Amino acid sequence: MAPRRLGALLVMFLVISPALLDRSVAEPDARWEAKRRLLREKVRRMFYHAYDNYMTHAFPHDELKPLTKTFTDSLSELGNLKLEHLPQDYNGSALTLIESLSSLVILGNNTEFEKAVFWLSENLRFDVDARINLFECNIRVLGGLVSAHILATDSTDRLVQGSYKNQLLFLAKDLGERFLPAFDTPTGLPYAWINLKHGVTADETTETSTSGCGSLILEMGTLSRLTGDPRFESAALRALRKLWSMRSSLNLLGTTLDVETGEWIEYSSGIGAGVDSFYEYLFKAYILFGKEDYWRMFHSAYLAVQKYFRHGPWYHEADMRTGKATYWQLTSLQAFWPGLQVLVGDVAAANSTHREFVHVWKKFGVIPERYLLDHQMVHPTEKYYPLRPELAESTFYLYQATKDPWYIEVGESMVNSLNQYTKVEGGFASVRDVTTMQLEDHQHSFFLAETCKYLYLLFDDQFLVNQNYVFTTEGHPLPVTRDWQERLPETFIPSNWTFVEADKRTRRASAMSLRLCPASSTPSHGQRMESACHVPDAWDSHRCSTDEECGIDSSTCRRRSCSMAGYCGLWLSL
């Protein structure tokens, strides 16, 4: 097979940004484009209603309380103190402003972006006696700062020329250095909480989550690449590798662990709270930095998830030691998974799961935090919806991949629900109970950082044209640049094409191992790859004489075996 022919066959390796997603489907007609423009303006008004109310009633504190038009300093323990008890040197971290920076750029408001950058440069300080959550501060504050620094320097027309002198990067480095004492443990796994002024206190809890210590590499790695200081990336990578070494023989991880002993506390896990961004960051770190270690970890982890957690379109939780199901429940955070699957190229599986989440959204008007699949009811104590972005995120990715206007209708439904149920005079309020739509006095910063951003990009992706970005788990864009790549994977190198062609075993490889998009690729023997883990049987007739001639099932990711009658199937699981 000539290199040109093979190049045509490899339609999509691993998608590295929304700008590179498959555009083989015809663009929507003028009617849908007009609808997108109207919905874009509707989302723009939503963003500014939330942003303006924050700036009026809560700035420079962390987040807005829209019902009472007051504020909360939610990022740290200081959020539990009354105003008169706050330290004299604490004026708030302006969390929502930091989280809004990239959204302002995407909406085209360079004037407000510039004002925000210079206010933060002059007023934001981290030398305060405040105990903060490392994970949350990393994805929200550090991620917001490094992303905004990049946006402030990648175009000369965003800020007055010569006025920006890397102030946000200096702030980010100061914050990153205050993170480092958290990693000073026997295992290298960081504490979940740290005091910005005093470091880790003697009585600090040693319990953390898989996400909490395994989802730091994008922000801290970017900080190292921008500053030339390797300490940040090294600390995050050491923690990630230690965490991966704690996986079970099934390549599954638990949910919570002890950073001092390296022992698991909670063995049950899934793709939701406490674990979700661990999977996300393995793959996105591979995209951003090109390190093969990230790919190998993600490849094994993804196949394990598909094999042990997946049940039809849903994902339950399971014991990491046995793979046996533990909790049959949907959590709102799981809605990010279809978006990740789109990036992997597993579009068919992503669409299947996404449609189930859409069904739940339409049933309640929003998505409850936890829904019991085995009882078909909302969890009695987790009925809330805090304006989460994950379904909007997955909808955006699926529209980019397919150009199916149905996803525009999904986005429209979400916009209408948010305006109908959560919009109040003072901003957008969280839902305390999805069964009654009783509201809660809290507008989370991620509503501006992610929910509005992904809805806006669904209707207007101009920001992504001719650009390659990875979005962090908090929706902050980081550019994919050759300078940050360790090396291109061998499969991507044209000189290696003849090697790929000569290896007859490629017919028995999966889409993921070949870095192909299964939704848009057809192997040479004519069978469509149905999922990223699918390995076809050796023969189209499914006849076999040994197990080696049987592949991996596309739906369950389980290995097929040869029956006594000589046919491949899932006989061992019957």
The one catalytic residue in 136, 174, 382, 530 is: 136
- Identify whether the C-beta of residue 237 lies closer than 8 Å to the C-beta of residue 248: no
C-alpha atoms less than 13 angstroms from C-alpha of 151 in its C-beta half-sphere: 28
Instruction: Based on the residue annotation, tell me whether 382 is a catalytic residue of this protein.
Output: no
CA 558 to each of CA 340, 352, 549, 573: distance values in angstroms, whole numbers, following the listed order: 21, 19, 14, 9
Three-state DSSP state, 562: strand
Residue type, 40: R
Q: Which of 182, 237, 233, 181 is nearest to 208 (CA)?
A: 182
Phi, psi of 389 (to 5 degrees): -100, -5
Q: Is 420 exposed, middle or buried (0-12, 13-18, 19+ CB in 10 A)?
A: exposed
| Alpha-carbon span 499 to 132, nearest angstrom | 51
Of 22, 63, 233, 276, which is the active-site residue?
A: 276
Calpha distance 27→19 (Å, rounded): 14
Query: Could you confirm whether 41 is annotated as catalytic?
Result: no
8 Å CB contact between 519 and 506 = no
Decide if 266 contacts 260 (C-beta within 8 A). Answer: no
Name the token pair of 455: 């809805």
List the beta bridge partners of residue 568: 562
- Report how far residue 239's alpha carbon sits from residue 97's, in angstroms, rounded to the nearest whole number: 30
Residues 6+ away with beta carbon under 8 Å from 556? 306, 307, 310, 570, 573
Q: How far apart are CA 331 and CA 440, in angstroms?
A: 19
Query: What distance lies between CA 490 and its chain's CA centroid?
Result: 26
Name the active-site residue from 63, 390, 393, 461.
390
Q: What is each CA distance from 297 to 241, 245, 485, 510, in whole angstroms? A: 9, 10, 17, 16
Percent helix, strand and coil across the chain, each to the nearest 5: 50, 10, 40
Tell me if residue 276 is catalytic: yes
Give Cα 154 distance to the centre of its chain. 24
CB 140 within 8 A of CB 179: no
Using DSSP's 3-state secondary structure scheme, residue 187 falls into coil
Other Cβ atoms within 10 Å of 175 Cβ, number: 22
> Annotated catalytic residue: which of 73, 233, 280, 369?
369
Identify whether 112 is a catalytic site residue.
no
Euclidean distance between CA atoms 442 and 68, whole angstroms: 9
Active centre residues (catalytic): 136, 276, 369, 390
